[in-house]
Amino acid sequence: MIIQKDKQISYDSNTEFEGIEAEVSAEDMHKFWDLLQDPYKNPIGAVVREYVSNCFDSHAEANVSDAVHVKIGKDETGHYWSCEDFGVGLSPERMKNVFLKYLKSTKENTNNQIGAFGMSSKSGLAYTDVVHIRTRYEGIEYTYMLRKGEKNPRLDKLFETETEERNGTLIKIYIKDHSNEVRRFRRECLKQLCYFDNIYFEECDIDNNYKIYEGKNWKYNPSMQ
């Protein structure tokens, strides 16, 4: 999404004023990081919406028409929510210089992709302390852990191995061990993704044969109401 960069309000006056510009207090940066890591009123909805939006942006960048995979599953650690794309994948340079940097985005010069503020890749930290990432880029599969650090978020690379699988990225977030949390994730999948076309749902209690009807100024998905 193209963002207008110059938003300063012009102010003409014959009088000169003495003033200072606002800045972030260096000694209170821990509060700033807390705000950045949890800016959402609905963290689960944000996780579902933001990461799936990234998947669609990756497909748009790679010019592929595959379905984005969204899953609610369970393994030896517990229940989890995940989404996977088969787009460009994330190179180590992109992980360092874009994925991990707040406000940095590859989408701020195009209206063909959804994001632009560099927040969505870190949205999982609003719900959990750790986000698991597996990305494949040009024959190498990388496994990362994005986590809340002592002062600010940190990205740790866990594994790196050769692969013949195509490029793409999987985000995996473990669901908190509360009785209604899995239901909340299913409900947010219905709510946040009801107008996203071309998603393959797995174990989400959502019919994959859904159809979106749309007109000039409206959309309707009867399967996700």
Per-residue pLDDT tens over the stretch 82-93: 999 999 999 999
**Is pLDDT of 220 > 50?**
yes
- If pLDDT is split at 50, 70 and 90, which confidence band does 12 have? low
108-137 average pLDDT score: 76
Helix 43-62 with 181-192: angle, nearest 10 deg: 50
pLDDT higher than 80, residue 137 = yes
Averaged pLDDT for residues 49-66: 96
- Give how far the C-alpha of residue 157 lies from the chain's centroid of Cα atoms, to the nearest Å: 19
pTM of the model: 0.79
Instruction: Give the 3-state secondary structure of residue 142.
Output: strand
Q: Which residue has the higher pLDDT, 167 or 223?
A: 167
